Structure 1
Amino acid sequence: MTASYACSSSAAAAPAVVPITGQTLSRADVLALLERGTGPLHFEQCDFEGVDLSRLELRGAQFTECTLAEASFEKSNLADSRWLGCRAGLANFQLADLTDARWYRCDLNNTSWVRSKLGSTVFAEVKLTGASFREAHTLGLSFHDSLLVGADLRGMSFRKQTIGQLDMGDADLGGCDFRDAVFEGGSLRDANLKNARFDGADLRAVDLAGLRIANVAQFFKGAVISQDQAAALVSELGVRVM
């Protein structure tokens, strides 16, 4: 493992940390870096596949194009962290603090966020197929242009949010709050909507394929759908809309 650090010419200035680049790192390596106490760590194109990084103080850390598949961050402090272009399928973030974290263009398929802290966390252009957010603390959490196919989002609130291009097909949305939300594209195809609320939601741009008239009457009371969506739903009864 190689890590280098550079200082500015001014004695009063804080040392600038050079990113740790292209390394395969173990838990012991990360602990050694943390013990140096030089500030938030920055990793680029590093390999943490399968590494146990649980219960570590990684506040403000940055991960750029890193491999994190099956790594464990359980109970770690990852508040204010930044993640860009990382591959982290099957990684474990249970009970981790990810307050104000930012995720961009990452593969997060089948990850676990059970009971994690996701206040004001942002996910943009990420893949979260099969991810579980069960009992996560999600006040201010937002998703943008992302895949949430088959994800467990039970009980999550999207109230009054603008929901842009989220594919939630086959997702478990039981008990979710979509009241007064505006969907800008995306999909609810074959999602579980038991006890979800859509009062005042604008669903005109979302894919509702797989739903039945009975589902609409039960779950979408008070929501707004388009004429084309209504015609498609009625056509499933064998009725032609002219």
Structure 2
Amino acid sequence: MRIAELRAGLQEFAREGPPADSDRRAELEEHTGQVARVLHEAMGQVLRDGTTALPMLIQLLATVQDRLHDSRWLVLLDHSMLSGAPAPGPAPAPGPAVTAPTADSGRWQRYVVIATALPTVPALLALGFTAVTISQAKDMLRLTERDQVASSYNETIANLGDKSINVRTSTIFAIQRIMRDSPREQPALVEVLSSYVREHAKMPAKAQAERMRKDVKSRPADDVQAALTVLGSRQLDSEADPVINLRDTFLAGANLSGLNFYNADLRGVDLTRAELQGGYFEESWFDGAQMSEAILSDGDFEECDFLRTDLHGVWWDGADFEDADLTEADLSGANLFEREDGAMVDLEGAEMSGADLSEANLTDALLMGADLSKDNDQGIPATKLAGTNFTNADLSGALLDGTDRKTAIWDGAHLP
């Protein structure tokens, strides 16, 4: 079993290891395939012949171990060893002759000479030696792979400073491959990409931001959008993941559709006309953000904070705002797409004191237990309901103290 694990490790290393060009990669794959075959045949002979065949297997393992240690990837075994692999047949006589170590013999090969020079190799000693050798070889493979990742990591990160936006964009997607292939590097790379977005999408001066906000063609640069896509496509690892910090960035028109920004810090971000539909933003912070006319349809915003957030004119059919804090948020003119699937806004348990729902469409919305009342302790008025459409909405258990309901539409609504 241990030999089989080592063979698999060698073959995987051949696919992912050091050589960069395709010719060298093919040569390495061919060589490790031959090494794996020889190890397999030597293992088979031990199974057939018992401990008398162990010296040859140990000799092969020790050679592989020493060559790995010396980074001699294309000569893990000599040609003579590859061509002279043990063949099926009668067991060799006890006490096989052992060739003296050559001048470049490594530590393990020198130990083998001592162990195999005995008249009979004790089974337990030989098996223990074999297990240790295999463990050492596997450790060497892991260390080499880690060094390779570190080298690739450093070279890749350096390219983020390239003057060409095409190079930077390609580098960002290369980072995504590192995050996928080496999950332990993901937290650091999330920090790197978050910092990259903050640096390359800084909030402009107020007058310039207003001009850009009014331009319906405003979009993040390709490299920034790529960084957002990679951040939102990462694999979550519970508490090991750092918070994605994009605070106070200008991301008008960004596409975050279907992406995962769980527990992200988006306070003060400009997401005017951004596409967030179907995204996962649970427990994220949007306090003070500019999100007018953004598409929030089918997004998960459960337990998010939207304190004093500008959400006027958003599209929010099918969005989940359960237990979200929308205190003093501007939701005026929030609208619904005409859909046949019955998607509805879920505001169950949401805190909405001081929010502006003027002309907002909450047809069929779920507002069970939502708080639209005034907060005397904080001096916050009740939710503004001028022209708000609550047709067929469910407000059972909702708090409406202090609201002016005269101009709101309540047809078919289930009131507390």
Question: Which category of TM-score, normalised to the shorter sequence, fits these structures?
Answer: 0.5 to 0.7
In structure 2, the partner of 1:56 is 244
Q: Is the 8 A contact 2:330 2:356 kept in 1?
A: no
Higher mean alpha-carbon deviation, 94-103 vs 34-43, is at 34-43
Residue matched to 1:164: 358
CA RMSD of aligned residues (A): 3.5
Report the Cα distance in structure 1 between the residues aligned to 2:269 and 2:388, rounded to whole angstroms: 27
Query: Which of 302, 311, 315 does residue 123 from structure 1 map onto?
Result: 311
Query: In the alignment, is residue 65 of structure 1 matched against residue 253 of structure 2?
Result: yes
Q: Structure 1 residues 66, 201: closer, same or farther in 2, change over 3 A?
A: same
1:167-178 alignment, distance < 5 Å: 167-178=361-372
- Is 1:79 paired with 2:267? yes
Worse-matched range after superposition: 87-96 or 39-48: 39-48
Return the structure number with greater helix share.
Answer: 2
Aligned to 1:83, what secondary structure does the other structure show?
coil
Structure number with greater Rg is: 2
CA distances 1:101-132 after superposition (whole Å, capped 9, x unpaired)? 12011111011112223222221111111111
Superimposed CA distance per residue, residues 29-79 of structure 1 (whole angstroms, 9 cap, x where no aligned partner):
795554558736252574656842673221112212222210111122211
- Given the two structures, how large is their TM-score scaled by the length of structure 1? 0.67
Question: Helix, strand or coil: the match of 1:143?
Answer: coil
Residue matched to 1:204:
406
More strand per residue: 1 or 2?
1
Q: Confirm or deny that 1:189 pairs with 2:391.
A: yes
State how far apart, in whole Å, the 1-side matches of 2:333 and 2:346 are. 17
Tell me the distance in 1 between the aligned counterparts of 2:264 and 2:296.
Answer: 17
Whole-Å Cα distance in 1 between the matches of residues 289 and 402 of structure 2?
30
Kindly tell me: are residues 36 and 172 of structure 1, through their superposed partners in 2, closer, same or farther at Cα, counting changes over 3 Å?
closer
Residue number among 34, 41, 45 corresponding to 2:201 in the alignment = 41
TM-score by length of structure 2 reads 0.41
1:93 to 255, 259, 281: 281
Instruction: Give, in angstroms, the shift of residue 97 of structure 1.
Output: 2.2
* 1:222 match: none
Q: Which amino acid aligns with 1:101?
A: A
Q: Is the 8 A contact 1:40 1:58 kept in 2?
A: no
For residue 189 of structure 1, report the CA deviation from its aligned partner.
0.6
Q: Report the Cα distance in structure 2 between the residues aligned to 1:198 and 1:33, rounded to whole angstroms.
A: 44
Question: 2:141 matched to which residue of 1?
Answer: none
Distance apart, 1:90 and its partner CA: 0.3
Change (3 A) 1:35 1:164: closer
| C-alpha distance in structure 2 between counterparts of 1:100 and 1:38, whole Å | 17
2:298 corresponds to which of 105, 110, 135? 110
- Cα gap change, 1:197 to 1:123, in 2 (>3 Å): same
Query: Is 2:329–2:356's contact at 8 Å kept on the other side of the alignment?
Result: no
* Amino acid corresponding to residue 363 of structure 2 in structure 1: G
Deviation at 1:98, TM superposition (A): 1.9
Number of aligned pairs? 199
Opposite residue 167 of structure 1, the aligned amino acid is N
